[in-house]
Amino acid sequence: MFRIPEMVNQAQKYLDELPPFPGTLTAPQGKDIAGWIDHTNLHPGATSVEIADLCAEAVAYGFAAVCVNPIHVPLAAERCRDSEVEVCTVAGFPLGANMTAVKAIEASSSIDAGAGEIDMVINIGALKGGAYEIVLKDIQAVAQIVHTQGAILKVIIETALLSRFEKIMACLLVKAGGADFIKTSTGFSSGGAVLEDVDLMVRIVAPDLKVKAAGGIGSYEDARAMIQAGASRIGASAGVAIVEGAQG
């Protein structure tokens, strides 16, 4: 049982006395970095042809996953069926302002359609307003649905909109909520992933959760730095450029 006042006290303690960073991962070299990337197209105007091309690139380069909007999950699942590329989609995207029941239905329907990973946006307004119980129950409800259906849950906290304390509190709530990953950003807000945030998130959630860095990662150098800071997955629409930059 997680008690919100205890979590708030823990967050304040982290804010005042963050432990030393536990270390960095060795970043993959060359084409091996492809296995760390969610090759992404969440553009609202993305066509089926563009999604098919995204999937073909993912299979050819060996990306970890393709990340697409829910409407494109059946196509992505079909195109990636005979490969090791996972299909990832989003719930409550990009604002996080959907009702919990709607997020749960989105997640469940997407898994039924072939998704193996769900990237859900937290209730950002509730977090910023201090309504932590709402945030926690939102995450828990979706995590239960996702895990019951054998999929993975990544929770997006939209770091660009949060204070340092709010980022720490979000990490604790995502951890308590039973997610598998915590993710920096949607890529649709005022900013994306920054090294300081990845570093902070790893300190709070590792080794229980993994960190996905996303938003504004456009080069091999960017991706490699995020991995060295502790990210276990990179969300990027520039996956091909990242891999080709690594090979170059």
Active site residues: 119, 183, 212
Residue indicated by tokens 């900013």: 191
Distance CA 11, CA 211 (A): 18
Contact at 8 Å (CB) between 29 and 55?
Answer: no
Q: Which of 126, 130, 148 is nearest to 138 (CA)?
A: 126
238's tokens: 């520039």
Contact at 8 Å (CB) between 158 and 121?
Answer: yes
Residue indicated by tokens 């992505």: 76
Distance CA 232, CA 122 (A): 20
